[in-house]
Amino acid sequence: MVKSLLCSSTLNPFFSSTLSSSTSSKKNQVVYSGNNKNQTSSLLWNRRDLSLGFMSSFLAIGLVGRRDANAAILEADDDEELLEKVKQDRKKRIERQAVLNSAVKEKGYLQELVYKLSKVGQAIENNDLPAAGLVLGKGTDTEWVKTVNSAFTKLSSTTEENTEVEAFNSSLASLITSVNKNDIESSKLAFVSSASAFEKWTTLTGLLEQLKGVI
């Protein structure tokens, strides 16, 4: 009864006001306590995010470092392979040049071939197949053809070079046959094929500039 009367706003306005103030204060305290909890929670989350951020950055740096290291290893391997290839190519060039320098007799045979092809070409251009026939001979078993092929054999060292030798011999056989048959058109075609194959071969072997009259 006393408690109910004390709580009545009509009987004790001052108490009522004090009670309201006290209640309001308690509410504020509750709200403030709630804010403290929120702030504490927020700080914890921020710390955790920061830690995760550091961990992620560390892992990322580690991955990048490993990737860069692997790339460096691969580049080093590539450099070694390239250097080895350069060394091998240089060695082959030196060996080839030594062979060419020592092949004095063979280069003489090939120079004679250049002169013969030049004469045959002039004769065919003048439609003088008998003159071309005198230079070429009656077949591919003549001495000059044999000496030329001996030079081809000694100085050819790759598949491409041997392919051009085969093309030359095939075209030369057609040329000799066409000239002996007095077939001017076929002779022209066969001559062009022969000269082209020989020029390609001299380019591949490095003899193009050593023989006069090829270019």
Structure confidence by residue, pLDDT tens digits, 79-91: 788 888 888 777 7
**What pTM was estimated for this model as a whole?**
0.60
Which of 82-91, 119-128, 168-177, 190-199 is predicted with the least confidence, judged by mean pLDDT? Answer: 82-91
What's the pLDDT at 96?
76
In a domain, 5, yes or no: no
Residues 181 and 109 in one domain: yes
The mean of the pLDDT values for the chain is 76
* Number of domain units in the chain: 2
Same domain flag for 181 and 143: yes
On whether both 55 and 108 belong to a single domain, the answer is no
Q: Are residues 188 and 110 in the same domain?
A: yes
Indicate if 109 and 189 belong to the same structural domain. Answer: yes
pLDDT at 34 over 90: no
- DSSP strand E in 32-181: where? none
What is the token pair recorded at 35? Answer: 């804010």
Higher pLDDT, 98 or 193: 193
112 and 201 share one domain: yes
Task: Note whether residue 169 is domain-resident.
Answer: yes
Higher-confidence position of 14 and 80:
80
Do 110 and 187 lie in a common domain?
yes
What's the average model confidence in pLDDT over 151-179?
Answer: 96
200 with 147, same domain: the answer is yes
157 or 98: whose pLDDT is higher? 157
pLDDT at 178 over 60: yes
Could you tell me the pLDDT band of residue 97, with boundaries at 50, 70 and 90? confident
**Same structural domain, 120 and 151:** yes
Residue whose structure tokens are 């070694």: 80
| Cα separation, 215 vs 199, whole angstroms | 8
Does residue 210 form part of some domain?
no
Host domain of residue 39: 15-84
Q: Helices H, strands E: what count in the chain? A: 7, 0
Please tell me the distance from the alpha carbon of residue 209 to that of residue 119, in angstroms, as a whole number.
20
Residues 6+ apart with CB under 8 A from 8: 16
- The reply to whether 172 falls in a domain is yes
Confidence of residue 101 (pLDDT cuts 50, 70, 90): confident
- In a domain, residue 4? The reply is no
- pLDDT reported for residue 9: 37
